[in-house]
Structure 1
Amino acid sequence: MKKTLLASLGLTLMLSTSASVALAEEANSVPVAKESILASSLTGNEQEPNDDFDQANEFLIGDAFIGTLGKEGVPGVWEAYDVFKFKAFESQEVHFTIQGDRYPDCWLQLTIYDSNGQRIKRSRNGQYFLNTDVEKGKEYYLAVDAPGLQPYTGKTFFYKVSSEVVE
């Protein structure tokens, strides 16, 4: 009985391993469309310094990233503003959500700028999301700041920004 059970388990393991290898080989031979490479789902951390348009961190629509405001991202520099850059590969509406801390005297805010640095849209006081229309082929900036955050108050904002296409 034990031998039959062990033989049966061994056969099952061998067949499942063979099937997994065959499926992996088949998946590797399937061509990947260029558009699927553009839609990343990776989450990354901001890279300091990113306090102005020239230093903006790049991301793709569909990405999420993590950052901080308030503490010294660069030694000796109080950070109250982060800038990120993205390109629209399609004309579409994009929804940005920011998750993070709230304090009575300040909050996190999102602002979208065009490639010339002209403000397009800003989230309202205490509103932790922002929708905006983007045009195919154009570059944009997304700024994160905390209005009311005073240097060296001991407050540090940890945040996560997510972006997604509105269907």
Structure 2
Amino acid sequence: MKKTLLASLGLTLMLSTSASVALAEEANPVPVAKESTLTSVLEYNEQEPNDSFEQANYFFIGDAVIGTLGKEVQGGWEAYDVFKIKAFRSNEVQFIIEGNKYPDSWMELTLYDSNGKRIKRSKNAQYSLNADLEKGKEYYLAVDVPGLQYGGNVFYYKISTEVIR
């Protein structure tokens, strides 16, 4: 009896969800190219603390994350953010960082492998980083500001990604 009731409820939920999606698509068609690489599917804020590989926030290719550097957060100085990435496909990915730009300082992106070995770093004042990610491997993406001083500039940023190939 319970199994029949649960199966019936599950089927009803699935059908109502499918119908809602179909109606929404019909009412608001979204033109998407067949080979489209949508960026920023989901946008969310970083969760503190994320100042080390052990505390890294998960970050998914295709999403966007908003963060802050250069201010006091939870009693600590916020000078470095780390995000953990798992590659579900082998792709060349471009990481793009947008945010505050000051003449005397800039944000850098650094990609590390799962053992903490640096793979690649963005160049001075270059607000993007391209990297080949291998399927099944984990990576860390760090955001920092070289020479960031306590009480100096505050950096608000957004990291997004684009699959290049």
Q: In which range does the TM-score fall when normalised by the shorter chain? A: 0.7 to 0.9
Alignment of 1:1-167 (within 5 A): 24=19, 27=22, 41-75=41-75, 77-153=76-152, 155-167=153-165
SS at match of 2:54: helix
CA RMSD of aligned residues (A): 2.0
Question: Whose strand proportion is higher, 1 or 2?
Answer: 2
Question: Whose helix proportion is higher, 1 or 2?
Answer: 1
Give the deviation of 1:102 after TM superposition.
1.2
Give the deviation of 1:26 after TM superposition.
7.4
1:44-86 CA-to-partner distances (Å, cap 9, x unmatched) read 00000000000000011001010000011222x1111000001
In structure 1, C-alpha distance between the alignment counterparts of 2:85 and 2:92, rounded to whole Å: 14
Are the structure 2 counterparts of residues 149 and 26 from structure 1 closer, same or farther at C-alpha, using a change threshold of 3 Å? closer
Q: Matched residue pairs, number?
A: 134
Letter in 2 for 1:51: D
Give the deviation of 1:40 after TM superposition.
7.4
In structure 1, C-alpha distance between the alignment counterparts of 2:59 and 2:40, rounded to whole Å: 9
Give structure 2 stretches of 5+ with no counterpart: 1-15, 24-38
Give the deviation of 1:128 after TM superposition.
0.2
Give the deviation of 1:105 after TM superposition.
1.7
Give structure 1 stretches of 5+ with no counterpart: 1-20, 29-38
Are the structure 2 counterparts of residues 92 and 150 from structure 1 closer, same or farther at C-alpha, using a change threshold of 3 Å? same
Are the structure 2 counterparts of residues 48 and 92 from structure 1 closer, same or farther at C-alpha, using a change threshold of 3 Å? same
Are the structure 2 counterparts of residues 106 and 87 from structure 1 closer, same or farther at C-alpha, using a change threshold of 3 Å? same
Give the deviation of 1:27 after TM superposition.
3.4
* Equivalent residues of 1:40, 1:60 under 8 A apart: no
User: Displaced runs of 4+ in structure 1, greater than 2 A?
Assistant: 23-28
1:102-124 CA-to-partner distances (Å, cap 9, x unmatched) read 11221010000000000000000
**Percent of aligned pairs sharing the same letter:** 65
SS at match of 2:135: coil
* Equivalent residues of 1:105, 1:148 under 8 A apart: no
